[in-house]
A and B are shown apart, each in its own frame.
Chain A
């Protein structure tokens, strides 16, 4: 029964990891940018939520209504300025720039909020409550909600990318931005929109993590970014469903590891991550095997 519990908890946590990962995957897929500040942005979103709740007294579960648009706008602006500037030099420059951004964000958070960790909505009845399956399995409502949000976000993104006019432009620019320019498409704007979507999704991830656990200025790089990377690599780049699958596999591996020995939780996740890199480098759903 304990194993069943571990798997259920792992699957549900996978939804959270998928929320972290899908923005990372989108930015890499569209503009070939590996955003090393991705995790820190999730933390920033969580801290913004803390501030927004303090000022407006909006219920914690609804804080995303304000935080996501703020982060999306920040994503567009950052992409059009800092990241585009780096891209114009070379793709490698974007690694340096986003790494620098990560350092700046972390230190700014330390400066203004200290190193103390904080949670979102601590004491909120919904966040702390759970229901029982059988006698030994306790499932937090919050985790179910986060998983559902992840599925809805991925479904929505999938639909947007494959069906909408703008989604089509994003895919075209990802394929060949020069050919897109020749068709009258301003790829820099399309990049900005893609970054806005990526920042919006990671904002959801940051808020979710703040409710699920605790946020500290360093959470972004030591937890969120690493898990997001692992989920993307396990699932396979460029596939949104692969991202969910990757998150779920990572979550289940961690929970099973914790079941064996509580200190092996993180280790187990990364062993699976390395195993996938060795055995199936294109990821579980990856199709591109060329080159």
Chain B
């Protein structure tokens, strides 16, 4: 019903980013509306993540970023809209089945199994893994320190190390889409940069990443596509190279006049006819 309201706006927005309609999206979200009780956390949000992309969702606290990722992972039920993985509707699929179909998430706050060792955490992650390049050994190669501390409980690790284990636990499932929820939360900037520095090696194995980040500059540094949420609405969308810092700021804080909501989201991106999406 109200779906057409949300979608055309999205279609327009897509022009700014990836070549519209070209290739199938690996992950597609159509007109997603999610309620937490009375509160409407997401309001007709749509997105298309193409294979190999690093798609970043930015936004302030309470913008609905985490709700969006958690709904994609299956932890919240949407009131409206649909989620498609490689063209197949997974909206009604239980979270554990989505995981085995190739959606893995590193949840906010890491959420490691505290009474398990580092290695056991990874083993749980690989129990129902798909076939693919990632093994526990490979994760140990990616994070050099991890192998020799494999028998430690995760509670004994630093925040950054715990985040690495959480990423490893998601990787060994060999997902097609990796959802990263607020990797930077509670970590020192140096540690955040080091963890994001691992991203190219992860992407090299053919993964697609959809991440949520409050730290806008960090998101801009790694993203190939950007979408900004404000109070459950999309306020800006496009390639990082195509949006100006002023636009991002306006979309992030909802400054009126600069980037109004909803359908003008596309309009906000219109000053993009310059270098038509050749560089990222």
Contacts and interface: CB of A to CB of B under 8 A. Distances in A.
Interface string B35-58: 000000000000000000000000
B105 interface: yes
A175 B114 contact: yes
A78 interface: no
Interface string A171-201: 1101110111111111100000000000000
Interface stretch (B94-102, B193-201, B218-226, B228-236): B94-102
Given A172-B113, A172-B124, A175-B116, A182 B94 contact: no
27 contacts: A168-B120, A172-B116, A172-B120, A174-B115, A175-B113, A176-B112, A176-B113, A178-B75, A178-B95, A178-B107, A179-B107, A179-B111, A181-B95, A181-B99, A182-B95, A182-B111, A182-B170, A183-B104, A183-B125, A183-B169, A183-B173, A184-B99, A184-B127, A185-B124, A185-B127, A186-B96, A187-B96
Contacts of A183: 96, 99, 104, 124-125, 127-128, 169-170, 173
B100 A171 contact: no
A172 B126 CA distance: 13
A179 B107 CA distance: 8
Interface of A: 165, 168-169, 171-172, 174-176, 178-187
Contacts of B107: 178-179, 182
B123 interface: yes
**B113, B123, B125 — most chain A CB neighbours (10 Å):** B113
Contacts, number: 78
Given A179-B112, A182-B99, 15 more contacts: A171-B115, A172-B124, A175-B115, A176-B112, A181-B94, A181-B96, A182-B75, A183-B128, A183-B173, A184-B99, A184-B128, A185-B96, A185-B124, A185-B127, A185-B128
Which of A180, A183, A185 is most buried by chain B, counting CB atoms within 10 A of its CB?
A183
B96 to A, nearest CB: 5
Contacts of A181: 74-75, 94-96, 99
B73 interface: yes
Contact of B173 (A174, A184, A186): A184
Contacts of A165: 123, 127
Contacts of A176: 111-114
A169 B121 CA distance: 10
Q: Which of A169, A176, A184, A185 has the most CB of B within 10 A?
A: A184
A74 to B, nearest CB: 25
Interface string B62-80: 0000000000011100000
> Quick one: which of A172, A180, A182, A185 has the most chain B CB within 10 A?
A182
Contact of B73 (A172, A182, A186, A187): A182
Contacts of B114: 175-176
B131 to A, nearest CB: 13
Interface string B166-179: 00011001000000
Given A181-B99, A182-B99, A182-B104, A169 B124 contact: yes
Nearest to B101: A184
Nearest to A176: B111
A178 B125 CA distance: 13
Given A179-B111, A182-B73, A184-B173, A168 B100 contact: no
Contacts of B94: 181, 186
B127 A169 contact: yes
B123 A168 contact: yes
Contacts of A182: 73, 75, 95, 99, 104-105, 107, 111, 170
Contacts of A178: 75, 95, 107, 111
A174 B124 CA distance: 13
A50 to B, nearest CB: 40
Contacts of B100: 184
Contacts of B95: 178, 181-182
A49 to B, nearest CB: 36
A182 B124 CA distance: 10
A226 B97 CA distance: 41
A168 B124 CA distance: 7
Contacts of A174: 115
